[in-house]
Structure 1
Amino acid sequence: MSKTSSMGRGMMAIFAVGDRHAEGHDGGTVAEIAARLDKDRSQVSRSLKGAHQEGFLARTGDRAYTLDWSLLTDAQLVTGQRLRTDGLTALEGLATETNEACFLGVLSGNSTVTIAEHVPASANLVGSWLGRPYPAYCSDAGQALLWDAPEDEIRRIFQDVEFVRHGPNTPASVEEFLGRLEDARARGYSIVDEEAEPGLYSLAAPIRDFKGEIVAAVQVVGPKSRLEPQRGSHALALASWRDWLEARVGGTASGGISGNP
């Protein structure tokens, strides 16, 4: 048996344990994992023991194997660090291609918060948005950050929020926000057209991590008169740098963005 095939079997066993967790189980026994993989129990037992010895799996009192959550915590810390370091590289590249201000935002309750930005001189934007919260229902990143959220979760997030008008096209209700989010999902990226403030236009896309969860949104922001005519090319640039950053944080390319309406 080659080292590669042994490693492959070990990874399959670890993924099978992860699948059991995703289904609501507390890991799995050798018999349960072997049945899931349709493999010989002795072979699966060796794979699980090896993964346990290497620190990828832990054991429970009833002899079930579980994921070692300390590794997941470490991975999440790395993700956060890379969002801020590689995120800046992505924003610089995106700003170079679009000549517009570019931001990286995260969700905090019912608001979005900018964690990284790159604003070229040509963007003519004054001041910094770093660390400043903005209502998610009309912010440049709001739709992208709630991309995967089910309707009931979105309604819960906004249940105590007053939909204050910040621009001529600010959504007036959660129903209106949900409608725009549905359009964005079909398009592959969000458009915030004078929702955050008059004359401001933006495109945004979600960033997924190694678990497939949305951890941030990358945005291109600028005057509507300048950005809207270039929407197609800017959307393609947004997709390219979104894919690059997702790869850096262990995610997989989301796809689905084209330069067409």
Structure 2
Amino acid sequence: MPFAEDLDPPRTSMGRGFDVLSALADLSTGAPHGVSVRDVALALDRERTQVSRTLSALADRDLVIRGEDHRYRLAWNWYAAAQDLTERRLHSAGLQVLDELAEAVGEACFLGVLQGDSTLTVVESIPAGSGMIGSWVGRAYPAFCSDAGRAVLWDASDEEVRAVFARTSFASPGPNAPVSVDDFLERLGEARALGYAIVDQEAEPDLYSVSAPVWDFRDEVAAGVQVVGERSVLQPRTAQLAAACVAAADALSAALGAPEGLSLIHI
């Protein structure tokens, strides 16, 4: 699959700032007294002077704190800034990944995030011959039966999943939709064992999809990549589509600063 090789994270100031924040956050877990410029530069395999300039700029914006010992610590509001950078890169890098995925498989591809007990489509790529009509961007769908529902809840504990669906009515036009939170949890466990999720006529009749989770720099699931289409067309190609979907999700995870070697079945 081409996705992991072809995707090159942006080398803009936003991208550099994201990378440095991500590295500092990762290194800070084992360095309570702060992290040196040298440590960050080594972690990123970059020039010390470049990293020093980026850290100074982040300090000027109160995203990191520079101590008298010239070591850096995360500021209280770094998380909000990093989250904003994650969302912006999710859209920019996500579109590139989905376009490549859609071209490779010839089917409609979407990127969804969790919003309450629903999934919200934030990016899409729909080839002309896919048969999909209209746009799903900005539209929400119940997570318990949506194409991305299990992907976006991949790393959630049973208690967290129960909290998400505490007020959910498990009613769907799809004949195979989960009928309870326990039913959803069982299917989530099966998806984790596979390494990807299959949603077969859960949202509506004759609709079929495969999906995989996208991880970010916090080692948390940020979104789900989906390939969606007619059941009769997609089901015979499940293995091929799943492999492509997982590769695309892995490429996007790398663009979001996810730890290297992160397993998609990690929970």
Larger Rg: 1
Residue in 2 that maps onto 1:8: none
Please report how far the alpha carbon of residue 227 of structure 1 lies from its aligned counterpart in structure 2 after TM superposition: 0.4
Residues 163 and 74 (structure 1), Cα distance of their counterparts in 2 relative to 1, 3 Å cut: same
Identity between Structure 1 and Structure 2 (%)? 45
TM-score (norm 1): 0.75
Give 1:197's match in structure 2, choosing from 195, 198, 204.
204
Give 1:86's match in structure 2, choosing from 71, 85, 93.
93
Q: Mind listing any 5+ residue stretches in structure 1 that lack a counterpart?
A: 1-10, 21-27, 34-49
Does structure 1 residue 18 correspond to structure 2 residue 49? Answer: no
Residues 170 and 13 (structure 1), Cα distance of their counterparts in 2 relative to 1, 3 Å cut: closer
Once residues 174 and 148 of structure 1 are traced to their aligned partners in structure 2, the CA distance between those partners, rounded to angstroms, is 16
Once residues 125 and 228 of structure 1 are traced to their aligned partners in structure 2, the CA distance between those partners, rounded to angstroms, is 17
Please report how far the alpha carbon of residue 247 of structure 1 lies from its aligned counterpart in structure 2 after TM superposition: 1.3
Q: Which amino acid aligns with 2:206?
A: G
- CA deviations 1:31-81 (Å, max 9, x no partner) are xx9xxxxxxxxxxxxxxxx9xx84375389xxxx85224444333222211
Residue in 1 that maps onto 2:11: none
For the Cα contact (< 8 Å) 2:108–2:132, is it kept in 1? yes
Once residues 126 and 69 of structure 1 are traced to their aligned partners in structure 2, the CA distance between those partners, rounded to angstroms, is 44
Residue in 2 that maps onto 1:153: 160
Secondary structure at 1:104 match in 2:
strand
Residue in 2 that maps onto 1:97: 104
Larger relative contact order (C-alpha < 8 A, sep ≥ 6)? 2
Residue in 2 that maps onto 1:117: 124
Q: Which amino acid aligns with 2:149?
A: G
Please report how far the alpha carbon of residue 140 of structure 1 lies from its aligned counterpart in structure 2 after TM superposition: 0.3
Does structure 1 residue 144 correspond to structure 2 residue 151? Answer: yes
- CA deviations 1:101-121 (Å, max 9, x no partner) are 000000000000000111111
Once residues 222 and 93 of structure 2 are traced to their aligned partners in structure 1, the CA distance between those partners, rounded to angstroms, is 14
| Two-structure CA RMSD over aligned residues (Å) | 2.8
- CA deviations 1:228-256 (Å, max 9, x no partner) are 10111111111221121111111145445
Q: Which amino acid aligns with 1:82?
A: R
Once residues 59 and 149 of structure 1 are traced to their aligned partners in structure 2, the CA distance between those partners, rounded to angstroms, is 35
Residue in 1 that maps onto 2:229: 222
